[in-house]
Amino acid sequence: MDLKSQINLEKLPKHVAVIMDGNGRWAKQHGKPRVFGHRNGVTAVRDTTEAAAELGIEYLTLYAFSTENWNRPKLEVSALMRLLVETLNKEIQTLNKNNIRLKAIGDINKLPGRTHDALLQGIENTAKNDRMTLVLALNYSAKWELTEAARKLAKAAKEGTLDPDQLNEQHISNALATQGIPDPELLIRTSGESRISNFLLWQIAYAELYFTDIFWPDFGKENFYQAIIDFQRRERRFGKISEQLIP
Ligand code: FPP
């Protein structure tokens, strides 16, 4: 039986987040420079986005560039930034055709001007779409996000609009870059690494983690379906015992 038909469409995760990893090692395996891996990673981005939208997943978040990625060789960083501009410009039409809205989380004001502009244009041009939201994490790290949230809340407390004794989890969720987006229920990481790498630390409190050895450029629709099937096989208890769960 094919994988897609094994998926229960009534029990889909609303939000899937992905740490796309292994582009560099994939390129090395093919005897090519790292940038070749990133270029082929775009195919996996397209396939995964399409698979998620076709299934009816509401939010897909992709970790495209972390705040730590600036430490990579200058040439790789500039190639990645160019690739983002190129991909955004090329794919906006496809996003519109498929009714997908683009969003970004991260310190995007620090991106190079052209990347920043292409991103804002993409966000603006797809703002009315409502089938699925594709969230790109760009110049993102969870510690940056939590620090910003703490700053916002501290300011509100200082200004008297927030009583520190009344502070609750919702205040924190609302102060994050993901404000208004449900927490991911499934987090996928490719390339055999079992780390979270400063990604959505608050939001993944109850997420199922799915690690696969496949390098990101090789990750296709079937691999995405497999991750969803695996998710659906797990029992999500949220601190309760099995018998307390409604069947
Ligand atoms: C991780 O592989 C990949 C990245 C840091 C970049 C991901 C970017 C893309 C797939 C291209 C553009 C994306 C979009 C959303 C348009 P790695 O370089 O860390 O691989 P390695 O661990 O094998 O070195």
Which domains, and CATH codes, for the chain?
A: 20-232 (3.40.1180.10)
Find out whether the beta carbon of 136 lies less than 6 Å from any atom of ligand 1: yes
Q: Provide DSSP, the chain.
A: --SGGGS-GGG--SEEEEE---HHHHHHHTT--HHHHHHHHHHHHHHHHHHHHHHT-SEEEEEEEEGGGGGS-HHHHHHHHHHHHHHHHHHHHHHHHTTEEEEEES-GGGS-HHHHHHHHHHHHHTTT--SEEEEEEEEE-HHHHHHHHHHHHHHHHHHTSS-GGG--HHHHHHHSTTTTSPPPSEEEE-TT----TTSSTTTTTTPEEEE--S-GGG--HHHHHHHHHHHHHS---TTS-GGGS--
- pLDDT for 246 equals 73
Residues of the chain with pLDDT under 70: 1, 247
- pLDDT for 99 equals 98
Q: What is the pLDDT of residues 43-94, one digit of tens each?
A: 999 999 999 999 999 999 999 999 999 999 999 999 999 999 999 999 999 9
Distance (angstroms) between ligand 1 centre and the Cα of 21 equals: 6
- pLDDT for 247 equals 65
Find out whether the beta carbon of 118 lies less than 6 Å from any atom of ligand 1: no
Residue nearest (by alpha carbon) to ligand 1 atom 7: 64
Please indicate whether residue 21 is annotated as part of the active site: yes
